[in-house]
A and B are shown apart, each in its own frame.
Chain A
Amino acid sequence: MKWIRIKYTKTYNLLKDGLATSNPIVIAVLGICSSLAVSNKVENAIAMGLGVTFVVMASSMLISSMRSIIPAKVRMVTYMVVISTFVIMFQMFLDAYFPTIAKSLAAYVGLIITNCIVMGRAEAFAVKNPVKYSLVDGFASGMGYMFILVVVAIIREALAFGTILNMRVMPLSFTNWSVMALAPGGFFVMALFIWGIREWLKYYESEV
């Protein structure tokens, strides 16, 4: 019985929203810039996904715990300050412990600050909800972002380099599709993917 009831808890619904029904990339189409840029290698996608998840969770938590004292007028500035703090912390962590990944992500780590998902969750959820649910919501959104990134990266890395996580998966005779590593490849795969998932979820945007 417990398993059936789990479907009706707020946590379950938040997770489902973030990962599927209102997935930040596929449904809300947020954070597209960075997802096109860093989804050419699986390790970059994982690092970026974890980074965004950390930043969304941490900033949602802090903003949610301050929600009753944030003056409405400086709301946006507060979000920016909090978000940039966590992004800089993540960047320092990468520089210190994963210098090669930090190098290949380059400017995109800093650009998490402008990732609409983080700001979007702060404004749409964290500032109105208790800390516990804000954390779950941040986690779900971050994972939703990472999930799409990793799947797209698996397709792109396999076709562009013949590898997945630097392990050979394609036969040696396979000719690498270099275009997949570049921006156009990202657009193609991402677009097909968004289309596929929207078909599957039966999510259609109505024309007004």
Chain B
Amino acid sequence: MRQYINMLVFVVILGSVVSFLLVGADLLTKDRIARNDEALLKSSILDAYDISYSFNTVFERFDETVEEVVIENTTFYIDKETSRVSYIFKGSGVWGPIQAIMTLEADFKTIVSISILAQEETPGLGGVLAEAWYLEKYSGTVLSDQSPYIIIRHGNEDNLPNEVDAITGGTRTSEAFMKMVNETYPMYKTLFESRGN
């Protein structure tokens, strides 16, 4: 009996010590991590608008050139010069959540670029989703007016304006990503169009 009590006491003490360490480390790094995430988001948006910036000027350049519009708790980012619009959309991939930025031309139909903020797909297969050369395929794609807005598919035939090649060896990731875009796009579109009213 005594032995079990000792064990229990030990586990409780160990638990408190490591929790203390972790809370401390979290307090020390939390602000910087949040700032890094923000810098990643802002630099991705600046990249989509072809605005040059350096590591130290991300925040200033962003404030100068980008307008943030909040409609019903959803933030849209608008390039002051070209009126390109960006929004952040989320969904689930094969292994975990995917978070990405969609940048569209002022018509809210033509894709300028898509960049991935977070993903946990299989490296080398589905993970290709986050690689620049693959994401380039999306630029110039025109989302159609009704569902399905975008089609991500395999095959050799020429792509229609709203079709993009799927990832070889990452079929399920491609499907998940297609679902994500198709489910979120109409929502953001309605929101954005209600802006003037």
Contact = CB atoms under 8 A, between A and B. Distances in A.
B29 A92 contact: yes
Given A85-B18, A96-B36, A106-B123, A74 B29 contact: no
Interface stretch (B6-14, B152-160, B175-183): B6-14
Contact of A74 (B10, B32, B36, B40): B10
Nearest to A97: B32
Interface size of A as a range: 20 to 34
B21 interface: yes
A99 interface: yes
Contacts of B120: 107
A106 B22 CA distance: 20
B22 A88 contact: yes
Interface string B1-37: 0010011001100110010011001101100110010
A95 B10 contact: no
B36 A99 contact: yes
A96 B3 contact: no
A97 B29 CA distance: 8
Contacts of A88: 22, 25
B36 A89 contact: no
Contact of A71 (B10, B18, B22, B32): B10
B11 A74 contact: yes
A71 B6 contact: yes
A85 B29 contact: no
A186 B28 CA distance: 36
Interface in B128-159: none
Interface centre among B3, B26, B36 (most CB of A within 10 A): B36
A74 B7 contact: yes
Interface string A58-89: 00000000100111011001100110010011
A95 B29 contact: yes
B14 A81 contact: yes
30 contacts: A66-B14, A70-B10, A71-B3, A71-B7, A74-B7, A74-B10, A78-B14, A81-B14, A81-B15, A81-B18, A82-B14, A85-B21, A89-B21, A89-B25, A92-B25, A92-B26, A92-B28, A92-B29, A92-B33, A93-B29, A95-B29, A95-B36, A96-B29, A96-B32, A96-B33, A97-B32, A99-B36, A99-B39, A99-B40, A107-B120
* Closest CB pairs A-B (n = 4): A96-B29, A96-B32, A85-B18, A92-B29
